[in-house]
Structure 1
Amino acid sequence: MSLRIRFRFDGRCSRHPRYNPEKDGRPAHPKCPGCESLYVIALYCGIARRRAAKGDGIIVSNRETIAQPDVADTKLDESPAADELSD
């Protein structure tokens, strides 16, 4: 099985369109919410990229391998029936 994951985000700060968090690092304007948001997105993309490279935290499962509970294994309600209580 082959799996390809791409990590890409195209975004730009409306006030500072030349800011690129992957190249520039921390924003030069720390109080700018657009630059700060781009930096946080770049951090999380980097974390996801590293986890994917290591295979850490990635779980691949097949629907057939997921255990389905058997009807016989489920515990039935053992409370007395309503008509038994009226006797």
Structure 2
Amino acid sequence: MRADNRGEGGILALMALVKTEKRRRWVLIALGLFGAALLYGDGMITPAITVLSAVEGLGVATHRFDHYVVPITLAILVAIFL
């Protein structure tokens, strides 16, 4: 596939190449922005779900940590991303 925008790829770079009539262009831009929003949303929720799943594994070892799963998860996520 040789579609690129001066060497750049991805949804937003390919949206810059759209040269069609105005109505069709706005539909393609809206679809491109929707795709970018899905990509960013997936990038945000995946680490949170992964860390939460790992910390919930503490409940398998002992039930004493059941009340601390969410606070431990939040602490790990804050430590990673700040």
Q: What interval of TM-score do these two structures reach, taking the shorter chain for normalisation?
A: 0.3 to 0.5
Structure with larger Rg: 1
Which structure features the higher share of helix residues?
2
Q: Please, what TM-score do these two structures have when normalized by structure 2?
A: 0.33
Q: Please, what TM-score do these two structures have when normalized by structure 1?
A: 0.31
